[in-house]
A and B are shown apart, each in its own frame.
Chain A
Amino acid sequence: MSITVLSGLAGSLLAAPLQRTAPRRAGWLLALLPLGLFIYFLTLLGPVSAGRTLVETLPWAPGLGVEFSFYLDGLGLLMALLVSGIGALVLVYAGGYLEGHPQLGRMYAFLLVFMSAMLGVVLSGHLLTTFLFWELTSISSFLLIGFDHKDETSRKSALQALLVTGGGGLAMLAGLVLLNQAAGTLSIPALLASSPDLLKHPLAGPAAALILLGAFTKSAQFPFHFWLPNAMAAPTPVSAYLHSATMVKAGVFLILRLGPVLGDHPLWTPLVSLTGAVTLLLGAWMALSQTDLKRLLAYSTVSMLGLLTLLGGLRTPLALEAAVVFLFAHALYKGALFMVAGAVDHETGTRDVTRLGGLARRMPQTAAAALPAGLSMAALPPLFGFIAKEVVYEAALESGLFAFAAVFAASAVTVFAAAVIAVEVFWARPAGSPPREPHEAPLALRLGPLVLAGLGLLAGLLPGPLDRALLSPAAAGLVGHPLQPGLALWHGLTPLLAYSALTFAAGALLYLARRPLRRLAAALTAGFGPDRLYDLAYAGVFRLAAWQTGLLQHGTLRYYLNLTVLAATGLVGTVLLLYGGLNMPAAFPGATFYEVLIAALILLAAGFAITTRSRLGAVAALGVVGYGVAAIFLLFGAPDLAMTQFLIESLTVILFVLAFYHLPDFERFSSRRTRLRDMLVAMLAGVLMTVLTLSAVGIQIFPTISSYYAQAALPEAHGRNITNVILVDFRGFDTLGENVVLALAAIGVFALLKFPKRRQP
Chain B
Amino acid sequence: MSINDFLAILPVLVVLVTGVLVMVADVFLPEGRKGIAALLSGLGLAAGLGAALAAVPSTGTAFAGMVVADGFSLFLDALFAAVGLVGIGLAYDYFKRMRLQRGEYYTLLLFSIGGMMLMGHANDLVMFFLALELLSIPLYILSGFFRARLASQEAALKYFLLGAFSSGFVLYGIAMVFGGTASINLEGIVAAVRDGSANLTFLLVGAALLVVGFAFKVSAVPFHAWTPDVYEGAPSPLTGFMSSATKAAGFAALIRLLLVVFPALGENLAPVVSGLAALTMIAGNLIALVQTNIKRLLAYSSIAHAGYLLIGLVAVNSSAAGDAVAAMLFYLVGYAIANLGAWSVVVAAEQAEGRGLELEDYSGLGRKYPWLGVAMLVFMLSFIGVPLTLGFWGKLYLFRVALESGLFGLAVIGIAASLVSAYYYLRVVVYMFFRDGEGVARRDVWLNLIAIGSAAAVVLMALVPGDLLQVAAQAVLRVP
Contact = CB atoms under 8 A, between A and B. Distances in A.
A262 interface: no
A149 interface: yes
B351 interface: no
A146 B433 CA distance: 12
B212 A171 contact: no
B58 interface: no
B180 to A, nearest CB: 9
B422 interface: yes
B465 A541 contact: no
A575 B465 contact: no
A567 interface: yes
B422 A552 contact: no
Nearest to B216: A564
Interface in A22-74: 60-64
A564 B158 CA distance: 13
A155 B434 contact: yes
Interface stretch (B1-9, B28-36, B104-112, B196-204): B196-204
Interface residues of A, number: 64
Closest 5 CB pairs of A and B: A580-B201, A560-B225, A149-B434, A132-B387, A701-B182
A735 interface: no
B59 interface: no
Contact of B419 (A146, A167, A545): A167
26 contacts: A60-B464, A61-B393, A62-B466, A63-B465, A131-B387, A135-B387, A149-B434, A155-B430, A159-B426, A170-B415, A171-B415, A174-B403, A180-B400, A545-B286, A548-B287, A553-B228, A553-B287, A557-B157, A560-B226, A563-B225, A565-B165, A567-B212, A575-B269, A580-B200, A580-B205, A696-B202
Nearest to A579: B268
B165 A561 contact: yes
B55 interface: no
Contacts of B419: 163, 166-167, 170
Overall SS of chain B's interface: helix
A542 B289 contact: yes
Nearest to B269: A575
A541 B404 contact: no
Given A136-B388, A548-B283, A564 B225 contact: yes
B162 interface: yes
A702 B182 contact: yes
Of B224, B225, B426, B469, most buried by chain A (CB within 10 Å of CB) is B225
Interface in B192-247: 199-202, 204-205, 208-209, 211-212, 221-226, 228-229
Of B165, B222, B404, B434, most buried by chain A (CB within 10 Å of CB) is B222
Contact of A63 (B272, B387, B469): B469
Interface in B138-171: 157-158, 161-162, 165, 169
A181 B404 contact: yes
B220 to A, nearest CB: 10
Interface residues of B, number: 64
B161 A568 contact: no
Nearest to A567: B222
Interface string A586-614: 00000000000000000000000000000
A548 B162 CA distance: 20
A565 B161 CA distance: 12
A692 B403 contact: no
B93 to A, nearest CB: 29
B255 to A, nearest CB: 19
Contacts of A548: 283, 286-287
A94 to B, nearest CB: 20
A161 B111 CA distance: 48
Contacts of B464: 60-61
A188 to B, nearest CB: 18
A365 B464 CA distance: 52
B473 interface: yes
Contacts of B386: 135, 139
A162 interface: yes
A546 interface: yes
A696 B178 CA distance: 11
B268 A132 contact: no
Given A575-B268, A696-B176, 19 more contacts: A60-B464, A63-B466, A133-B387, A135-B386, A136-B387, A163-B423, A174-B403, A180-B400, A552-B222, A552-B224, A557-B158, A560-B226, A567-B212, A568-B169, A571-B208, A576-B204, A578-B268, A579-B200, A699-B202
B396 interface: yes
Interface in A480-516: none
B418 interface: yes
Interface of A: 60-64, 131-133, 135-136, 139, 146, 149-150, 155, 159, 162-163, 166-167, 170-171, 173-174, 177-178, 180-181, 541-542, 544-546, 548-549, 552-553, 555, 557, 559-561, 563-565, 567-568, 571-572, 574-576, 578-583, 692, 695-696, 699, 701-702
A63 B222 contact: no
Given A174-B415, A692-B176, A692-B205, A545 B289 contact: yes
A132 B388 contact: yes
Contacts of B209: 568, 572
B212 A571 contact: yes
Interface in B406-451: 411-412, 415-416, 418-420, 422-423, 426, 430, 433-434
A489 B2 CA distance: 92
A575 B210 CA distance: 13
Interface in B463-478: 464-466, 469-470, 473
A62 B465 CA distance: 9
Nearest to B228: A553
Contacts of A557: 157-158, 161-162
Contacts of B208: 571-572, 575
Given A174-B403, A557-B161, A572-B209, A580 B225 contact: no
Given A170-B418, A177-B403, A564-B165, A61 B286 contact: no
A62 B469 CA distance: 10
Contact of A177 (B221, B229, B269, B399): B399
B225 A571 contact: no
B352 interface: no
B469 to A, nearest CB: 4
Contacts of B225: 552-553, 559-560, 563-564
A561 B415 CA distance: 31
Nearest to A168: B419
Nearest to A543: B290
A583 B272 CA distance: 23
B226 to A, nearest CB: 7
A554 to B, nearest CB: 8
A60 B462 CA distance: 10
B434 A146 contact: yes
A716 B473 CA distance: 50
Nearest to B199: A699
A696 B179 contact: yes
Contacts of A563: 222, 225
Contacts of B387: 131-133, 135-136
A546 B286 CA distance: 8
Nearest to B267: A579
Given A174-B411, A544-B286, A561-B165, A575 B204 contact: yes
B162 A561 contact: yes
Contacts of B393: 61
Contacts of B415: 170-171, 173-174
B57 to A, nearest CB: 20
A637 B429 CA distance: 68
A704 to B, nearest CB: 14
Contacts of A178: 403
B224 to A, nearest CB: 8
Nearest to A570: B222
A132 B388 CA distance: 7
A132 B393 CA distance: 11
A60 B466 contact: yes
Contacts of B397: 64
A163 B422 contact: yes
